[in-house]
Amino acid sequence: MLILMDGKHTERDLEAVLEKVRSLGFKPHVIPGATGVAVGITGNRGPIDRGLFDGMKGVADAIAVTRPYKLAGKDFKSGHTTVTVGGVTLGGDAFVAIAGPCAVESEEQTVRIAKKVRAAGAHWLRGGAYKPRTSPYAFQGLGKEGLRILSVARRETGLPVVTEILDQRSLEDVAEVADVLQVGARNMQNFALLKELGQLRKPVMLKRGLSATLEEWLQSAEYILAEGNPNLFLCERGVRTFSDHARNTLDLNVVPAIQEISHLPIIVDPSHATGQRRRVAPMARAAAAAGAHGIMIEVHDEPQKALCDGAQALHPDDFAQLMGELAKLCPAVGRKLAAQPPPPKKAKK
């Protein structure tokens, strides 16, 4: 922590700051400058809350020298975190594609699409049983019935299931079925939920909030890690800005930014970020080229009948074509497509 005194601070103001530092058990160092004075702090083991100094008379600014997260940072763990589900490892050299419908609408629809995304090369199956909807009047998902359908789709295709957990009360049900629990953008700072997911030990995918900074995102990850769950990866899905040509602004530069400071894997969801079918493939390719560990893509074979977000769903054929492009593109950035999970065991009698 560095405290910058303003140009009009008095000796008394400075002394009060020094006293405060000492009262916290740390050691202050006065650094005189040409146009100001700064106070460096040593002796602390973790970050110091800048709010402790922000309000003091004569203080212009308080600057953190250390980062506000610990377990999520590279200083804590120098290698890479990997998350392995269904024999597929996310976070290493292999590129992983999660695909499926936005929402579970029926068993027939879900199993049908699951088979098509499997055939097109998907590694894990996505599908929402509980849907967070801006409007109380929009389709809210099939709930427990949706979970049952997802487990059928997994049995039929061998694809592990990624599905969203919306609230504490349904946590037990969702955790029983999900192979990966997805935390959506709106819940990135639902800290009570994050803590319970940290205690659960199942793999978690943490989406970035619509207006979350990189540091806030990693601190939300820290909530999960600090409870003892290391099976965690991140998902960029666009942020909210003035730019109105797409639903959100996909912040692809956050991929190398995360990789500079954290050991956590990061994937990209171009479907929600763009909201438009035609832009999904370009942004999926760009994500791979930027170094993301994977993508999550919404696929529907009858998007015009979809109960949710049909406009952004790829047709299975388009998804297959995208997987082909990615197979060619990944080697140019030192990656290759992951091998798919083994086919369902009990099949084909």
DSSP class of residue 184 equals P
Alpha carbon distance 121, 50 (integer Å): 49
Does 38 engage in binding with a second copy (CB under 8 A)? yes
Alpha carbon distance 314, 283 (integer Å): 13
For 102, the token pair is: 């936005």
Neighbours of 156 (CB within 10 A): 18
Does 33 engage in binding with a second copy (CB under 8 A)? yes
Neighbours of 94 (CB within 10 A): 18
Closer CB to a second copy, 85 or 252, in the complex: 252
Alpha carbon distance 288, 61 (integer Å): 40
By CB under 8 A, name the one of 10, 15, 22, 63 that touches a second copy. 63
Neighbours of 317 (CB within 10 A): 12
Find the part of the chain contacting a second copy (CB under 8 A) among 26-34, 84-92, 112-120, 151-159. Answer: 26-34
To which residue do tokens 């504490």 refer? 168
Find the part of the chain contacting a second copy (CB under 8 A) among 44-52, 105-113, 146-154, 156-164. Answer: 44-52
Does 175 engage in binding with a second copy (CB under 8 A)? no
Closest approach of Cβ 152 to a second copy, in Å? 25
Q: Which of residues 190-219 bind a second copy (CB under 8 A)?
A: 190-193, 195, 210-211, 213-214, 216, 219
For 32, the token pair is: 């005189």
Question: Parallel, antiparallel, or unpaired for β 59-63 and 2-5?
Answer: antiparallel
Per-residue contact string for residues 292-331; x = within reach of a second copy by CB under 8 A: -----------xx-x-xxxxxx-----------x--xx-x
Closest approach of Cβ 161 to a second copy, in Å? 21
Find the part of the chain contacting a second copy (CB under 8 A) among 86-94, 147-155, 183-191, 339-347. Answer: 183-191
Q: Which of residues 3-22 bind a second copy (CB under 8 A)?
A: 4, 7, 20
By CB under 8 A, name the one of 13, 24, 40, 320 that touches a second copy. 40
Phi, psi at 339, each rounded to 5°: -70, 145
The continuous run of DSSP H or E covering 31 comes out as: strand 27-32
Closer CB to a second copy, 167 or 176, in the complex: 167
DSSP class of residue 166 equals -
By CB under 8 A, name the one of 13, 18, 24, 66 that touches a second copy. 66
Closer CB to a second copy, 16 or 344, in the complex: 16
Measuring CA to CA, how many Å separate 142 from each of 127, 131, 222, 314, 323?
Answer: 11, 8, 31, 22, 29
Does 283 engage in binding with a second copy (CB under 8 A)? yes
Closest approach of Cβ 257 to a second copy, in Å? 4
Does 165 engage in binding with a second copy (CB under 8 A)? no
Closer CB to a second copy, 34 or 349, in the complex: 34
By CB under 8 A, name the one of 25, 79, 242, 345 that touches a second copy. 242
Strand order in the sheet with 27-32: 27-32, 37-42, 2-5, 59-63
Closest approach of Cβ 303 to a second copy, in Å? 5
Alpha carbon distance 312, 210 (integer Å): 18
By CB under 8 A, name the one of 155, 251, 318, 320 that touches a second copy. 251
Does 34 engage in binding with a second copy (CB under 8 A)? yes
Site size toward a second copy (CB under 8 A) is: 110
Closer CB to a second copy, 157 or 259, in the complex: 259
For 347, the token pair is: 């099949």
Measuring CA to CA, how many Å separate 45 from each of 32, 163, 254?
Answer: 25, 38, 28
For 124, the token pair is: 């894990």
Does 256 engage in binding with a second copy (CB under 8 A)? yes
Does 132 engage in binding with a second copy (CB under 8 A)? yes
> b vs e for 168-206, b when ≥16 Cβ sit within 10 Å of the residue's Cβ?
eebbebbeebbbbbbbbbebbbbeebbbbbbebebbbbb
Does 106 engage in binding with a second copy (CB under 8 A)? no
Phi, psi at 29, each rounded to 5°: -130, 115
